[in-house]
Every structure is written in C-alpha cells, then in structure tokens.
A and B are shown apart, each in its own frame.
Chain A
Amino acid sequence: MLYFSDLLQYSDVFLSGLKTTVELTVLTTILGVVLGTVCATVRQYGNRASQRVVSVYVELIRNTPFIVQLFFIFFGLPAIGVMLSPWEASMIALTINLGAYSTEIIRAGLASISKGQIEAAKVLGLNFRQTLTRVIFIPAFEKIYPALTSQCIIVMLGSAVISQISVQDLTYAANLVQSRNFRAFESYFVTALMYLGLSILLRFAFNALGKRLFAYRTSN
C-alpha cells in the first residue's frame, strides 16, 4: 500500500527545499549564461592568450564530473583558506559548470553570424562593443536558444547533487522525509514530479523570454 498522505506533515520541508532549488536555479542560470556569454565572446573574438585561458577552463569543467567539482570547491578549497558555506559552494559550482557548457553553445551561435553582418556594422561606424550588443548577440542567441534552454535545465536537474554537501534543496528534503517515515516510494515520486514541474516551468520561462527577444521571427 502507498501512503501519500504520510507526506503531508512534511509539506513545509518539501516547500522549503523547493524554494532553495528554485532560488539557486534562477541565480545560477542568470550568472552561468552571463559567464558563458563573456567566455564565448573571448573565445570567438579575443586574442590568442585569452582564448587559450577560456579553452582550458571549458575543457577542465566539461571533462570532469560535477560532483567532483562541487566537492573540490566545498571540501578542497578550505585547505588553501577559502571557506565557503554549502550554499555558496553550490552556487559557485553550478555557475562555473553552466558557464563552461554554455560557452561552447553560445560560441556556436556567434560563429553562425556572417562576416557580412559584422562588416556592415563596421562600415556604419559601430565600435566592437556596439556591434556585439546591437548586431551579433540577438541573432546568435536565437540560433542556439533551444540548446541553451536544454543545458540550463540539465544543470537545474544536476543541482540535486548539492544535497550531498547538505544544502537543503528539494532532494535533501526527499532524503530527509524518507529517512524519517520510510516512505521512499512516495517521497521520491513526489520529488520527481516537482523536478518535472520545475523543468516544464523553466522551459516555459525560456520560451516566453525567447518570444520577446526574437519577436522578429514571428511578427508581420
């Protein structure tokens, strides 16, 4: 028999976990995409030395497990004097992780912008910063928007791992509840549904933003 009603008394635990996951997701999605945008720009248009630095960062993160990155930041860094709270360590690890993956995605978008667009901006007298922000970014993001959306969702789901350093997120809540009442099926089932809901919501938010940013594709 299943007893979903046994979870009711823990609704506060679930809700507070959900809140932590949502907060971290919103924050790291924004910071991670900003970081990715900066790195992608450097990698696409920067000088060789700075391109090299970004490449090392991207490859380092993309070729190591997220949980190791998280443990390194939380358990490893104190050895050199950097003490972070679980929440801070998670925020940094998630941002760095999304930053690396989104660098590669966004760079593909930048690479898709024809040289002609950049030359047109140049002969109109725009400087490079103006060319980036006014001419390049929007069409570049449009090209890779679905991939970027997916990556942000992957990182949100991957954030479940931060319960391992005792951040009280949604997964932490599920672990806690099932260890109290032994209703593992019910607890994880409800948690899975909540993650599913979050994914759908995040996709929704991205789509709504995309409709505004890329209005030129649909209007008149």
Chain B
Amino acid sequence: MSLVNLHQVHKYYGDNHVLKGIDLDIKAGEVVSIIGKSGSGKSTLLRCINGLEQYQEGGITVDGKEVTTEDIQVRRLALSVGMIFQNFNLFPHMTVGENVMLAPTIVLKKSKAEAETTARAMLEKVGLAEKFDSFPEKLSGGQQQRVAIARALAMSPKVLLCDEITSALDPELVGEVLKVLEQLAKEGITLVLVTHEMNFARDVGSRVVFMHQGKVWEQGDPKTILSNPQTDELKQFMGAVL
C-alpha cells in the first residue's frame, strides 16, 4: 500500500516547466533520498507533496487523500505530513517547549499537560530534553534543527519531508541531525529527504531518486544506484558531489 503517490505531476512557474511528469510511489517505512543538481525540481517536488506549491497537472495523494493547496486541505494534510526546512523556521518568540507544544495544543486541541508530556518525550528523542525552556536563538544550528524535528514529530506525522535540512549547518553539526534521522528511520517512520548527504542516502536510505531537468531520471536501491549509475547525468552528478 503506497503512502505517497505522485502520478504524472506537472508544475509550471509561468513559462518555466519545473516538474515534467513525475511518477513516484512511496511506501510506508521507506526512506527516500531525492538527489540532483539545484534547479532540478527536488524541493518543488517536496513542496508539492504537502500542498505548499500548487501543481497544474497530474495527481498527488498522501495516505489515499488528494493533495491540493486549498487551505483546509493543507491543514488536514499537515496532520499526516510533517516538514522540516533548511532554515529551521523555529518561532523565535517561543521557548523550545512552546514551539513543540504549539500545534498539538491549538490544532489537535490537546490539553496543555498532554502536549507538554508529548513535547518532552519528543525533545528527549532528539536529545534536547534539557533545552525545554530555552529560546531558539540560544541554540546552535544543529540543536535548532533537532528541535524542528521534535516539533514535527509532536504531530505524529505518517511521513516526514526534509528539505535540505543539513545544508545550512556548519559541517561539524551535520552529524547530530543525521543521527536523529537515522534513529527515526530505524523506528520505521517514512522519510522523504531532499539531500546532498550521499553517505546518509547510501547507508540509511532505502531508495535514491535522482532528479534531472524536472524528471525522475534514475532511481533504485541506494547501494546499487550510487556505485553503479546507469545514466550519464547521474555519473556526472556523482562525479561532482564526491
């Protein structure tokens, strides 16, 4: 049973044809890494999956429900699709705990006590239980990103979308975020990541999707595809990133 399904998705920015007929099927528990050059449409694809971007043709379903940008749909979708951004986007005026508790209390209408229990558990999971009362600006980039992960997890999403979530981090902070992701993957959460971390894609991912010029150019098992790319474009890309 597929959790996320894209069928012939086309997306245009004016005359710019960004996604040219994407077919993709993601099953529960998969860890899918989307790789490719900048401008290949990776992030746009991700943003279409949770309704942040509108697509013009084709269809996307998540957990059997169709994705549109209609506000109510986006909100209902938010319950099953979590998203983490490159720039963390924590709310600066709320403590770490308040950031994590916000959506469970006002969207899921959980009691404060219940939301706090969840929030503490999620922060524990990302190794930041002691930062509950700190404000985001006092944390390192890696810590902020881990809080963002906890905030997404607090809504118990079925699938977690990660949009280059280590790209804004100093190199020495990347590891701590990837470790959290690896842990989540082990627990069986479905992950779709746009990433440049080839080692992570190879060691943790269950599938690599290589995008080129708005199309899924090549995809398959990470170990096979990354060590033995079939298309020239992927060979070239691998040459550039390694």
Contact = CB atoms under 8 A, between A and B. Distances in A.
Interface of A: 114, 116-117, 119-128, 130, 134-135, 138-139, 142, 214, 216, 219-220
A22 to B, nearest CB: 31
Given A120-B89, A122-B75, 14 more contacts: A120-B83, A120-B85, A120-B91, A123-B50, A123-B82, A124-B102, A124-B151, A125-B107, A128-B71, A130-B106, A130-B107, A134-B91, A216-B92, A220-B134
B133 A124 contact: no
Contacts of A138: 93
Contacts of B137: 216
B135 A134 contact: no
A128 B151 CA distance: 19
Contacts of A216: 92-95, 135, 137
B121 interface: no
B122 to A, nearest CB: 13
A123 B81 contact: yes
A139 B138 CA distance: 16
Interface magnitude class on chain B: 20 to 34
Contacts of B103: 124-126
A142 B52 contact: no
B215 to A, nearest CB: 26
Interface in B111-137: 133-135, 137
Nearest to B76: A125
A125 B79 contact: yes
Nearest to B82: A123
Given A124-B155, A138-B93, A220 B133 contact: yes
A125 B93 contact: no
A134 B94 CA distance: 9
15 contacts: A117-B89, A117-B91, A119-B85, A121-B91, A123-B74, A123-B152, A124-B102, A125-B78, A125-B79, A126-B75, A135-B91, A139-B91, A139-B92, A139-B93, A216-B94
Contact of A125 (B90, B94, B133, B155): B155
A116 B89 contact: yes
Main SS of chain A's interface residues? helix
A116 B151 contact: no
B8 interface: no
A19 to B, nearest CB: 36
B93 A123 contact: no
Contact of B75 (A117, A120, A125, A135): A125
Contacts of B71: 127-128
Contacts of B52: 119, 122-123
Nearest to B75: A125
Contacts of A214: 93
Contacts of B79: 125
Nearest to B133: A220
B87 A116 contact: yes
A134 B83 contact: no
A142 B93 CA distance: 10
Among B78, B83, B89, B106, max chain A CB count under 10 A is at B89
B189 to A, nearest CB: 16
B102 A134 contact: yes
Given A117-B89, A142-B93, A122 B138 contact: no
Contacts of A126: 75, 102-103, 106-107
Nearest to A117: B89
A114 B86 CA distance: 13
A214 B227 CA distance: 52
A135 B90 CA distance: 10
A116 B90 CA distance: 9
A211 to B, nearest CB: 13
Closest 4 CB pairs of A and B: A125-B78, A120-B89, A124-B103, A125-B107
A125 B82 CA distance: 10
B92 A124 contact: no
